[in-house]
Structure 1
Amino acid sequence: MNIQPVRKTSLSEYVVYQLKEMIIKREIKIGDRLPNERELSKLFEVSRTSVREALRVLELQGLLNRGNSGTYVQANFSKIIEESLTLQILLNDASYKDIQQTRIMLERELIRLATFRRSKDHLQNIKENIKKMERAVREKNNDLYIEADISFHNEIAVAANNSVLLFLYNSISELISKIQKSVSFDDEGVNTSLKYHKSIYQALEDQNLSQAEDQLVNHLIDVDNRLHKK
């Protein structure tokens, strides 16, 4: 049997755990001011030293903001989880192939949902990014093109209107961004990419599911092929 020894939890770790649970359950909301150290020590029945250590840990994790006016909950907890997941992916040395396969699976499902859930505002935002791409092509501004490209795909993720899928997409968006920036586009590559994005937009506007999915997947495969030609 693979039995792990029981680890003794310090009092400060107990306070950290309890406060995180309260934030997750929205018992303490972003912007709320916490009681002072003396009051917290009474509530948790621990020393002020343990409370102080716990608050320091939560501050380092980005959950609390401590100042002269008091201690406040400042962070979006889901954002911290996203960053933590991204860090885990990096620490586990995820290969480009793994990231790209995950991206294709996620974006394929996102565009399926976005095809029928997109609103006029979503379409407008997506179209604005195409305009930025066109301007980037005219000005031969590769950085602007990549910025608009990344924003284009983010808008589709938002248009899918699925909070869990959006959370997962956001968790790897930084990694996707790095991949995009590593792709070298010549004039032919940029024009091909722009055509794909226009086709994807048109399919979303027409609510043509098969066309939207096909064009998206073909676009991502094209990006993959260009990366491997480097």
Structure 2
Amino acid sequence: MDVKPIARKNIYEDIVIQIRGMIDRGELAPGDKLPPERRLAEMFSVSRNTVREAIRTLAEKNVLESRQGAGTFVRVSDGDSFAASFAGAILRRRPELRDVFEVRKLIEPEIAAMAARNASPSQITRMEAIVGEQERALLSGEPGRAYDQELHELLAEASGNEVMRAMVVALHDEFTQSRAEGLQSLERQAASLAAHRAIVDAVTGGHVMQAEKAMREHLEEVEAIVFADK
């Protein structure tokens, strides 16, 4: 497995992103067993406690599952075969970033609207917690991109449509690097936080049209930022 050095400020979050990337690229398939904690700690050059935190986070997101006495495995779900083939198609073609944005603007506003109709109380609680963690990261000067990706994926999960969720996971994996490069200033991170609050508030209130509008405006703002200097 190809791993990258971990930034000190958000160690377990970067491990989460890297493991998700391995799964989305097909390097880890549903049902595969992860190396032991000790080996993962050596690979990422972190402590075993940090590895445990990353695994716990991914388990809570139903990406991994820990089986007592057997180890940690990539969770198998009904949408895995579609997600793997969709992500593989994207990675083989390496689409232009503008094309990725066009697709995101087509599907994610509708996902937000569907989440406003279908999100469960527990999913809403998780959304609010993610936004709170993103604010904490902003105030402490830490990168918040892991929370950004987590929120968009949770909205797709809350839509109730497994195909939508798989598409968002694949598209966000393609978009991660450009988001990391283009959204690092405090002003831009604050704008992202404000947009996420607006989306979550609309979903929490069950305001379908407001959720759709807030997501569309958020994506248009991010697109303008990413391409400002290109």
TM-score by length of 2: 0.63
Using a 3 Å threshold, how does the CA distance of structure 1 residues 153 and 61 change in structure 2: closer, same or farther? Answer: closer
Query: For the aligned residues, what is the CA RMSD?
Result: 2.5
Where does residue 110 of structure 2 map in the other structure? 109
1:83 partnered with 2:71? no
| Structure with max Cα Rg | 1
- How many residues are aligned here? 162
Using a 3 Å threshold, how does the CA distance of structure 1 residues 80 and 221 change in structure 2: closer, same or farther? Answer: same
CA distances 1:166-208 after superposition (whole Å, capped 9, x unpaired): 2322332311333322323322212111111111111111111
Where does residue 94 of structure 1 map in the other structure? 95
Task: Return the alpha-carbon distance in structure 2 between the equivalents of residues 194 and 116 of structure 1.
Answer: 22
How far does residue 84 in structure 1 lie from its aligned partner after superposition? 3.1
**1:114-129 equivalent positions in 2, closer than 5 A:** 114-129=115-130
**1:46-195 equivalent positions in 2, closer than 5 A:** 76=76, 78-142=79-143, 145-195=144-194
CA distances 1:49-100 after superposition (whole Å, capped 9, x unpaired): xxxxxxxxxxx995788xxxxxxxx983843542332222232231101111
Verify the 8 A CA contact 2:183 2:189 in the aligned structure 1: no
Q: Which runs of 5+ in 1 are unaligned?
A: 1-59, 66-73
The DSSP-based 3-state class of the residue aligned with 2:183 is: coil
How far does residue 161 in structure 1 lie from its aligned partner after superposition? 0.6
**Which one has more relative contact order, counting CA pairs under 8 Å at least 6 apart?**
2
Query: What amino acid is aligned across from residue 226 of structure 1 in structure 2?
Result: I
Task: Return the alpha-carbon distance in structure 1 between the equivalents of residues 169 and 197 of structure 2.
Answer: 23
Using a 3 Å threshold, how does the CA distance of structure 1 residues 94 and 208 change in structure 2: closer, same or farther? Answer: same
Report sequence identity in percent: 19
Using a 3 Å threshold, how does the CA distance of structure 1 residues 61 and 109 change in structure 2: closer, same or farther? Answer: same
Verify the 8 A CA contact 2:30 2:80 in the aligned structure 1: no
1:221 partnered with 2:220? yes
The DSSP-based 3-state class of the residue aligned with 2:210 is: helix
TM-score by length of 1: 0.63
